[in-house]
Amino acid sequence: MSLALARKYRPRNFATVAVQSHVANTLKGAIARDRVAHGYLLCGPRGTGKTTLARVLAMALNCERRGDPALAGEPCGQCGSCQRIWSGSASLDVVEIDAASNRGVDDARELRERAMYAPSGDDRYKVYIVDEAHMLTREAWNALLKVLEEPPPRVVFVFATTEPQKIAQAAAPVLSRLQRFDLKRIGPAEIRERLAAVLTEEQVAFEPDALGLIARAADGGLRDALSLTDQVLSVGETAEVTTARVHTALGLVPDEEYLALLDLVADRRAADVFPAVQRLADAGVDFALVLAGLGDLLRAQLALALGGTPPELPERLRAALAERVGRHAANDLLRMLHALLELEPMYRRSGQPQLLLETLLVRFALLDRTIELEEVLKGFAEGGHDDPPPRRVAHEQRVASAHALPPAPPAAVAPALAPPVPTSATQRAAAAAARAQEAAAAAPPPSPAVAPERVSGAPAPLLDEVERGWSAVCDALRARGRGMVAQGLSHLRPVAISGEGALTIGYAAADDTWAHAAEQARSDVLAALQATFEGVRTFTLKRDGTPGAAPATSAATAGTPTRRLTADDVQKQRTSHAARRAPLLEAAVKALDLEILD
């Protein structure tokens, strides 16, 4: 029976170990200069050459032609010792141990006792190769610690592992007694080159695109690539490697299916997502492979959209993606990739992979109906505070139709001298600042006496309007030279307003000082309020109360039970206070119904 490709083409010397030249050259030089360490730790992904390098090291140390200048530290690969070690046959001086099944302290003690015996010859080395070394227990490592620190002469330990962090957690002192080498993942180009050489040696016809598919499926492991090639060669009556056979043998999704999904998203056909995914389910494909392939396709499309060149793609697929460059914006492709990465950990735990894939594709197809927060804030910064998103407009229209008010009187009936009502917070702030500056220039210095309340015929504003324009009131106070009072007023908040224009300003127990400052500057505060809102005629300050502080009471409310503030109330107050300090943030909170968490 013929050997599998992964065993038949296992390297026989350091020079033929693919990609890991940084490890191979170091080990070869150590042997050539007789500077071999007593312990090595080989780390790296599966199928990258850890056990192969350990065997080649054992072959070179026990080669019958060791010391030949022509070899320069390489094993000859032809002598009896090299043949036995390479094939994994019994050898007195080379012992391979699987730590997954020999992981206990008793196994480690037996290994320690065996290491005390000398090699079979004066010119030979005893080499112990421990595979899956991260499976050893803490007690087993402790049993080996002394022999690793002071090993017998001409004894070499080689530990191979895919998870060195577990060794660091279980036995950190061991790492300082070993020379560590980290093996690299093998790239698709190197895997394709190696597969082409192997298939040429085997006289098997192949398609370059088929080798690319195998290289991508191998995920950086050359041994896996050779095993998958053996699997493909088992399909069909003739020995050849074609794209169709690779798809059949490995259960891969054809590229046409990915392109169809990409076109479906580009055409915004969300309703067609469900039959397309059902067709894949009926074909029995693994949805994990679909997600991985879709991610590779979106990555390649993003590279083309940015003017780059996607690596490792079949030429036919590259041409198909180049034709679709203008159909997706780069930012949309980036958002799709981000959504796919967010879905991946959820997919591993979910029992409904088909539903997750369908939901993801529907989100992709509806990207044209979403809007980025940056664009909304940019619109606010340009003065679009009163242009809320369509969903809010529709909601407000429904509410207005349900509570319809009588139509307003014609403009001709309105008083001729009534100033126009500002339509946005920015316009109200500018108008208030201008009126405050004019009043400050014409009026004498403010008196501490309480000014008479201004009487205006304008209707009282709504509470929501006062909340939106609260920063404009603070600006008007600053324009009057009362910056400290404006700072204090920003900590307070309007809580109610009557039809007669009596505004109630609430404050928490922690803001007693600010409330006192506003009361002392009552005339200036009232002037700023009336400059911003014509319908405000007076105001009162009321302590709201916070958890741990008793709320204020009056004769009118002495018999009414006080409502305790909840955590939701405190969160709303925090959001309102933070929003009023920045007009742009306030506009975003109002338009998008945001909540400031911290």
| 259 has pLDDT over 70 | yes
- Residue 342 to residue 239: CA distance in whole angstroms: 42
- pLDDT at residue 410, as a whole number: 43
DSSP codes of every residue in 128-154: EEEESGGGS-HHHHHHHHHHHHSPPTT
Strand partners, 129: 96, 158
Residues 6+ apart with CB under 8 A from 298: 262, 333, 336, 337, 340
If one compares 482 and 577, the residue with the highest pLDDT of the two is 482
Q: Identify the CA nearest to 490 among candidates 507, 465, 503.
A: 507
SS3 string of 265-289?
HHCCCHHHHHHHHHHHHHCCCCHHH
Interval 488-504: pLDDT, tens: 888 888 988 887 888 99
pLDDT band at residue 598, thresholds of 50, 70 and 90?
A: low
- pLDDT at residue 425, as a whole number: 45
Instruction: Compute how many other C-beta atoms are within 10 angstroms of the C-beta atom of residue 266.
Output: 16
Look over the chain and give the mean of its residue pLDDT values, rounded to a whole number: 79
State percent of the chain over pLDDT 70.
75
Pairing of strands 179-182, 502-507: unpaired
Nearest-5° angle of CA 478, CA 481, CA 486? 40
Domains, the chain, with CATH or none: 5-182 (3.40.50.300), 188-250 (1.10.8.60), 255-365 (1.20.272.10), 421-546 (no CATH)
Interval 80-109: pLDDT, tens: 888 888 887 777 889 999 998 888 899 899
Residues 6+ apart with CB under 8 A from 198: 5, 9, 226, 229
Interval 162-211: pLDDT, tens: 999 999 988 888 888 999 999 999 988 899 999 999 999 989 999 988 89
- pLDDT at residue 237, as a whole number: 76
- pLDDT at residue 445, as a whole number: 47
pLDDT band at residue 78, thresholds of 50, 70 and 90?
A: confident
- Residue 286 to residue 283: CA distance in whole angstroms: 9
pLDDT band at residue 42, thresholds of 50, 70 and 90?
A: very high
| 542 has pLDDT over 70 | yes
SS3 string of 514-578?
HHHHHHHCHHHHHHHHHHHCCCCCEEEEEECCCCCCCCCCCCCCCCCCCCCCCHHHHHHHHHHHH
pLDDT band at residue 377, thresholds of 50, 70 and 90?
A: low
Q: Identify the CA nearest to 519 among candidates 539, 497, 549.
A: 539
- pLDDT at residue 449, as a whole number: 38
- pLDDT at residue 302, as a whole number: 92
First to last CA, the chain: 69
pLDDT band at residue 577, thresholds of 50, 70 and 90?
A: low
Interval 270-307: pLDDT, tens: 999 999 999 999 888 888 888 988 998 999 999 999 98
- pLDDT at residue 381, as a whole number: 52
Interval 438-492: pLDDT, tens: 544 554 444 443 343 444 467 888 888 888 888 888 888 888 888 888 888 888 8
3-state class (DSSP) for residue 308: coil
Interval 407-438: pLDDT, tens: 444 443 333 334 444 444 445 545 555 555 55
- Residue 412 to residue 56: CA distance in whole angstroms: 101
Q: Identify the CA nearest to 152 among candidates 131, 178, 127.
A: 127
- Residue 488 to residue 474: CA distance in whole angstroms: 9
Query: Which DSSP category does 119 fall into?
Result: P
Cβ atoms 205, 31 nearer than 8 A? no
